[in-house]
Structures are given as structure tokens and as C-alpha cells.
Amino acid sequence: MEIIVLPDADAVGRHAAGIIAETIAAGPQPVIGVATGSSPLATYRELAALAARGLDVSRTTAFALDEYVGLEPGHPQSYHAVIDREVTRRIRLDPARVHVPDGSADHLEAACTAYEDAIAAAGGVDIQLLGVGANGHIGFNEPGSSLGSSTRVKTLAPGTRRDNARFFGGDPEAVPIHCVTQGIGTILRARRLLLVATGAAKADAVATLSEGPLGAYCPATALQLHPDTTVVVDEAAAAKLT
Ligand code: F6R
């Protein structure tokens, strides 16, 4: 695992965008994994700037990590809508090449299998961008998740609903209880992992994922199993590394 500590969130975004841009430029049919939440926003901003300056993203396919169950794709806080706003439109990806798990399918289990199949049919993910929850979750794989899991329905931890209440008018009860998320096994199948974290609230998770013992108590420790993982953090998020 390579850990890169930079002064602030903007520098983290610039560095992470540069790494993803290299993968996109290497083509010919790049597949990137994208995350929602606050952590990757600076990365998307920088990628958009690189695309505006000539990075060819026309053949890039993207797969999102997760989606809430029960929010229609048109709901402004559904991850369909968030990915469309923050990733597809900003970077000007081809919307037909951007995939988000279906959290409003009648048959969620079949939709999860179809999502795994779509990733495989695209040739697998070249680089997966990740944030980390304060509790160590990746995607919505909360503590206790199987390290070998595939895309499936999960229950959000109460702390995650509290953390994400800021997107739902401050009310944790308004945050859906269930989600569809790529599994930890799905994430580990990506050829390269790139985790970004900023701010003091992530310092414990960053220290544990990189130095703690491997285990489902902190799903992000699974990144230790991957031979090509880069963690890019600001000084505040790095504060508890030894
Ligand atoms: C969202 C996701 C989550 C977030 C994590 C951190 O697609 O995969 O694991 O990355 O909850 O969220 P922020 O960046 O908002 O602190």
C-alpha cells in the first residue's frame, strides 16, 4: 500500500485526478469505479478540468459503488442523480457508459447479479476510486461485512445514516435504511484501488485501514489485501498514522 500525504483537500483532489487521468489516457476502453460522498468531489473537479484541457474521456466507462434502496433515480439525493451531477455532467462522460446499481428494482437480488455481470462484461474495473466512512466502511460495506462479498443489499449503520443526514435536510430518519452496494470482493477485483480521505474525522479510519489488523470490524482494512492500492490523504486525515 502506497500512502501519500498532501497539505490539503485540493492537493488530494489534484493528485488523485492525475492518477485517474493516467488510467483514462492509457485506454483504449478505460473502466473507472466512482464513489459518491464529499471526499471525491475535488477529484471530480480536477478531472473535469483535465477533460476540458483535452483529456479524451469519450471511451471511458464508469461504475458507481452503491445506491440507496427505495429512492427513485430522479430523487436529487439518489446516487443516480448525484453521479449524474457530480461525475457524468462535470467530466462530460457519455451517460450511456455510466452505471449505478439499481436500488429501485422489483427484484433487487437479480439487479445485483446483473450489476456484477455488467462490470465483468466491461472487462473489470481498471481503477476504483474510494472514500472511507468514519467507521471504516468502503462503498456501503459496513463493519461486519464479508471481505469476499459481491454486490448485494445491505443495511446502513446508524452512524452512517447520521453522517449522511446532511444530504437529507439534517434528518437521519430521512436517510434510507437499506442500500445496494458493491461488495468488498467486488472492490478488490478492480485492478487498482485509489482511496482519498481528508479531514480529522477520517484520521482513525485512515490509521486503522493502513496499519490496523485486517478484519471485517473495519472493512477498509481489506485494501491491505490488494497488491496495487494508493491512499491519498491530507495532513489532518494522516494525523494518527504512526
Ligand atoms: C459512497 C461511498 C462511501 C463514502 C464514505 C465517505 O459511494 O462509497 O463509502 O465514500 O461514506 O463519505 P464522505 O466522502 O462523504 O465522507
The three state secondary structure string of 92-153 is CCCHHHEECCCCCCCCHHHHHHHHHHHHHHCCCCCEEEECCCCCCCECCECCCCCCCCCCEE
ipTM of predicted assembly, 2 dp: 0.98
184 CA distance to ligand 1 middle (Å): 14
Nearest Cα residue to atom 4 of ligand 1 = 131
Number of domains in the chain: 1
Whether 142 is catalytic is: yes
CA distance 153 to 136: 18
240 domain residue, yes or no: no
Between 201 and 72, name the one with better pLDDT. 201
Mutate to test the pocket of ligand 1, among 82, 132, 141 (most ligand atoms within 8 A of CB): 132
Global pTM exceeds 0.90: yes
63 domain residue, yes or no: yes
153 domain residue, yes or no: yes
pLDDT tens-digit readout, 117-170: 999 999 999 999 999 999 999 999 999 999 999 999 999 999 999 999 999 999
Ligand 1 pocket check for 205: Cβ under 6 Å: no
pLDDT of residue 73: 85
Residue 241 CB contacts under 8 Å (≥ 6 apart), including other chains: 3, 5, 206, 207, 210, 211
174 domain residue, yes or no: yes
List the CATH number of the domain containing 168. 3.40.50.1360
> Can you read off the three cell numbers belonging to residue 175?
436517510
Quick check: 27 pLDDT over 90? no
Whether 66 is catalytic is: yes
241 domain residue, yes or no: no
The residue range of the domain holding 196 is 2-234
Given 137, 141, 163, 234, the catalytic residue: 137
Given 66, 67, 116, 163, the catalytic residue: 66
pLDDT tens-digit readout, 57-107: 999 999 999 999 999 889 999 999 999 999 999 999 999 999 999 999 999
Pairing of strands 229-234, 193-197: parallel
242 domain residue, yes or no: no
65 domain residue, yes or no: yes
